[in-house]
């Protein structure tokens, strides 16, 4: 029998919400628009990182790698370059959903 996944790894997946799915969680969207640095600190805290690490592309890449989410460093960079609030809110929505599902 061939092993196709490493033990404990997740099957390839996508983010659970789209980059611009603001209405999926209006609270997170408002949080990101009103206090962007606070949202970044919340993400960093969720991932046991330094406070302002939640506001940049590398934390998204680490998260994608941890949960085997499709994408690339280039796509992460582009998301943060053109709409950092959207990218940060998407990451927070995904973290919150994974917490609800018990897989975070």
**In the chain, which stretches have pLDDT less than 50?**
3, 7
**Token output for 85:** 């609030």
Greatest alpha-carbon span in the chain:
53
Packing angle, helices 84-101 and 36-46, rounded to 10: 40
- CA–CA distance, 104 with 100 (Å, rounded to integer): 8
Question: How much is the pLDDT for 4?
Answer: 52
């Amino acid at each position: 029998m061939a092993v196709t996944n490493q033990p404990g790894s997740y099957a390839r997946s996508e983010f659970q919400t789209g980059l611009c799915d603001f209405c999926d969680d209006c609270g997170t969207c408002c949080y990101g628009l009103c206090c962007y640095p606070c949202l970044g600190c919340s993400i960093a805290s969720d991932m046991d990182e330094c406070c302002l690490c939640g506001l940049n592309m590398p934390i998204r890449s680490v998260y994608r790698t941890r949960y085997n989410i499709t994408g690339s460093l280039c796509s992460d960079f582009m998301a943060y370059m053109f709409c950092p609030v959207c990218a940060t809110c998407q990451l927070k929505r995904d973290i919150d959903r994974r917490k609800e599902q018990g897989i975070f």
